[in-house]
Structure 1
Amino acid sequence: MRPVPVGESAVLDVVVTPEMTVCFDELGPVHPVYATYSMAKHFEEAGRKLLLRHLEPGEAGIGSSLSVEHLAPAWVGDPVRVTARCVELRGNRLTCECTAVDAEGRLLGRGTTGQVVMSEEAVQTRIGGR
């Protein structure tokens, strides 16, 4: 992996859709707002977007940690900008601070993601079939 400079970031722009709102498998729809689990997915996607720029041929990244603090709601149709910023690269482990903000710059959420870089072969061995 090529070094990821501390402070480098990647941005993911999304618009909240009905599929991104709170709806549980067993309980059904709960709130018609941007779900914490959708924000978590977008944090991971933004972090991966940053990592992909630095992978060498034959390398792959796999998620290792995730934290999300959901601070404010967003509704269907609202644009959300998710930013992942490298805060640490230690060996083969990348840690990003993530934020989600709405079009007015209101902080919707913050958190961190962790990814581990290893060979594609090692990842396949880890996640291989049962």
Structure 2
Amino acid sequence: MKAGLHIGKTKILTITVTNEMFAQFDGKVVHPVYSTASMVYHMEWVSRQLLIPYLEDHEEGMGAAVSVQHVAPSGLGSTINLTATVSGVSTKEITTEVYVENARGLIGKGKVKQVVLPKKLIQEKVRTTTT
């Protein structure tokens, strides 16, 4: 991993809640609000954006762990800001703390851990799981 990524570095992702982000199972909407699954996806995405500029050409980042608390709903059309802050970093992994807010305040929070692996190792592991 390239030098420069440090504890405290922050990235913000702003999204607008769409129908596709609703809590749903088997294509049926359970609640017409921002789903926990969508929140986890966006938490991983904003955290990954912190890592991408520091990956070497032969490296890739992979999600290793996510913890999340979804504490309030957010409806269709609402604007959500996800703020990821690096809370731990080494040559092999980064951890971020992520806060998820809408106009009313906090709707979620959690941690995302990503590991940095050689692309060749990932390809080898994928081959062994598909054969």
- The TM-score range, normalised by the shorter chain, is over 0.9
Cα contact 1:95–1:114 (8 A) shared by 2: yes
Match of 2:6 in 1: 5
Question: Which residues of structure 1 form unaligned runs of 5+?
Answer: none
- Asked whether 1:23 is paired with 2:18, we answer no
Number of aligned residues? 128
Aligned-partner Cα distance in 2 for 1:30–1:16: 15
Aligned-partner Cα distance in 1 for 2:54–2:44: 16
Question: Which residues of structure 2 form unaligned runs of 5+?
Answer: none
- Runs ≥4 in structure 1, deviation > 4 angstroms? none
Aligned-partner Cα distance in 1 for 2:19–2:99: 21
Greater helix share, structure number: 2
Q: What secondary structure, in the 3-state scheme, does the structure 2 residue paired with 1:53 have? A: helix
Normalising by structure 1, we get a TM-score of 0.92
Aligned-partner Cα distance in 2 for 1:47–1:34: 19
Percentage of identical aligned residues:
35
Normalising by structure 2, we get a TM-score of 0.91
RMSD: 1.4
- Asked whether 1:41 is paired with 2:41, we answer yes
Residue 56 of structure 1: how far off its partner (Å) = 1.3
Match of 1:58 in 2: 58
